[in-house]
Amino acid sequence: MESEHLERGIKVRQLLMIALGGTIGTGLFVGTGGNIANAGPLGTLIAYMVGGVIVYSIILSLGELASVYPTTGSFGDYASRFIGPATGYMVFWMYWVGWVITVAVEYIAVGLLMQRWFPHVPVYYFVMGCIVLIFLLNAFSVRVFAEGEFFLASIKVLAVFIFIILGVVGIVYQSYLHGFSHVWDHFYITKANPNLGLEAGFFPKGLSGVFGVILAVIFAYTGTEIVGVAAGEAKNPSVAMPKAIKATLWRIVFFFLGSVIVISVFLPMTDSSIAKSPFVSTLERIPLPFFGTGIPYTADVMNFVIITAILSTANSGVYASSRMVYGLAQKKMFPPIFAKLNKQGTPVYAMYLSMGFTLLGMLTQAYAPEKIIESLINIISFSVIIVWISVSVAQYNFRKQFVASGKSLDDLPYRAPFLPLIQFIGISGSLVGVVGAYMDPDQRIGAYLTIGYTLLCYLGYYLTKDRWGQA
């Protein structure tokens, strides 16, 4: 027997963990090293602060919309309702493609990381294991997904918390040994190094390096907005969403900025790279009382944590992408079969479609030239930027309509503060990320591909809008 409605089975504690752990993944655990190498410690810290302000403004807008309209279609529904159905259709597919590509890359990443312990086992064996695990977490009930995400997210949240605590102890101990001023040596380059393209000062590669990493920082924050999708299946979204928003703020301040500061104190930018997790390199250098420098088995422990973080991201990605397809079908913008639910209330056909295209993405990862893969990863960030902008515009239009209808703002379950400032920050900040990425010639093709995909989405809407009974 099929269910007629999505199951509201996500508890408050699970929604809080989805909000807290949604963005802690490869962008933080691995990408931070590349960001520090390209922008320097202070430049990376500024980039994460700017990105944090942008994403928090988006979450404030999303919180108001999701508390009034807690639907699993989330951004697509809001864009359809408050911007236009064509834009809503585009947003549905834009968010979908970003997660499909992300999940494909994450599967491969798990396989490669497992090679550390099982070098003779083919990567695709682990990839197949990941696919089965993520399928089992998503196919049966949203409660299984939420509990699985709670467990996986808890591991990485605890790991980052311990990392920061150890870093603080190391900073205090280093201050005791060498003086407080020595702690900040890596933040300022005293001598230029033309061979490495470094200038003396706080910004060794210039301000352009800071703008260049903005897109990578946005990729690191990707996943924060998934709490808006989960709100559609939360038990009490009007209560849970404000709590999730507060959790997002503290995560940004504590986990991201705290991690960057600890890494920058102990790891020179010349030793940072995208090839090795900066968390591993930093733990190998932190001085601790009675233990000396370095912590035993650091690499193995962090390898395990990063794998769980990647699995968590893939779990969220399959969930979010399947709900986008379901939302399209529910609004009669896509074949009705994808709106069908199993008896546990899960849109399995939408999930099959998303997982199927993820497999195609993995083939691209395996056989396409490296530049194509980099461009596909850039599309993830550009697609999220478009989704974020749509949230700001939709919430601004919603508030105007709400006030014009004669209703009181006190009637809102959650009222976003600082309007229209947060819309200005969200939109202009997202556009700064696009401009910063465009300054890097290697990232421009990703922008062009995203523009082409956007136009294709609009074309798809106008070709099919009368086909499945959309009202």
pLDDT category, 197, cuts 50, 70, 90? confident
pLDDT category, 3, cuts 50, 70, 90? low
Please give the DSSP secondary-structure letter assigned to residue 288: E
Is 469 a member of any domain? no
Please give the DSSP secondary-structure letter assigned to residue 10: B
Please give the DSSP secondary-structure letter assigned to residue 256: I
Give the separation between CA 211 and CA 226, rounded to whole angstroms. Answer: 25
Phi (first) and psi of residue 201, to 5 degrees: 125, -170
For the stretch 338-358, pLDDT in tens is: 999 988 888 999 999 999 998
Residue 340: predicted pLDDT: 92
pLDDT category, 240, cuts 50, 70, 90? confident
For the stretch 297-318, pLDDT in tens is: 887 888 899 899 889 888 988 9
Mean pLDDT of 195-215: 80
Is 214 a member of any domain? yes
For the stretch 22-60, pLDDT in tens is: 678 778 888 888 889 888 999 999 989 988 888 889 989
Is 5 a member of any domain? no
> Distance of CA 349 to CAs 233, 256, 352, Å?
18, 36, 5
Residue 380 has pLDDT above 90, yes or no: no
pLDDT category, 381, cuts 50, 70, 90? confident
| CATH number of the domain encompassing residue 112 | 1.20.1740.10
For the chain, the domain total comes to 1
Residue 375 has pLDDT above 80, yes or no: no
Mean pLDDT of 165-186: 89
Residue 74: predicted pLDDT: 85
Give the separation between CA 116 and CA 123, rounded to whole angstroms. Answer: 11
Is 406 a member of any domain? yes
Winning range, highest mean pLDDT, from 62-71, 98-107, 124-133, 392-401:
392-401
Give the separation between CA 86 and CA 127, rounded to whole angstroms. Answer: 36
Is 2 a member of any domain? no
For residue 185, the enclosing domain spans 12-464
Give the separation between CA 93 and CA 33, rounded to whole angstroms. Answer: 31
Mean pLDDT of 322-349: 92
Mean pLDDT of 229-249: 77
Is 4 a member of any domain? no
For the stretch 212-222, pLDDT in tens is: 788 778 878 88
pLDDT category, 464, cuts 50, 70, 90? very high
Residue 371 has pLDDT above 60, yes or no: no
Q: Helix (H, G, I), strand (E, B), or coil: what is residue 198?
A: strand
Mean pLDDT of 437-462: 84
Give the separation between CA 103 and CA 377, rounded to whole angstroms. Answer: 11
Residue 162: predicted pLDDT: 92
Question: Does the N-terminal peptide bond of residue 420 adopt cis geometry, omega within 30 degrees of 0?
Answer: yes
Between 323 and 7, the more confident residue is: 323
For the stretch 141-171, pLDDT in tens is: 888 888 998 898 899 889 999 999 999 999 9
CA end-to-end span of the chain: 28
Mean pLDDT of 436-443: 71
Between 130 and 248, the more confident residue is: 130
Residue 203: predicted pLDDT: 86
Mean pLDDT, all residues of the chain: 85
> What's the pTM value of the predicted model, to 2 decimals?
0.88
Residue 345: predicted pLDDT: 83
Give the separation between CA 457 and CA 88, rounded to whole angstroms. Answer: 10
Find, among 183, 219, 216, 221, the residue nearest to 53 by Cα.
221
For the stretch 82-103, pLDDT in tens is: 999 999 999 999 999 988 988 8
Residue 21 has pLDDT above 80, yes or no: no
pLDDT category, 1, cuts 50, 70, 90? very low
Mean pLDDT of 188-204: 80
Out of 134-138, 291-295, 380-384, pick the least confident.
291-295
Residue 373: predicted pLDDT: 57
Is 279 a member of any domain? yes
Is 7 a member of any domain? no
Torsion of CA 381, 69, 424, 383, to 10 degrees: 10
The CA-based angle 269-270-273, given to 5 degrees, is 75
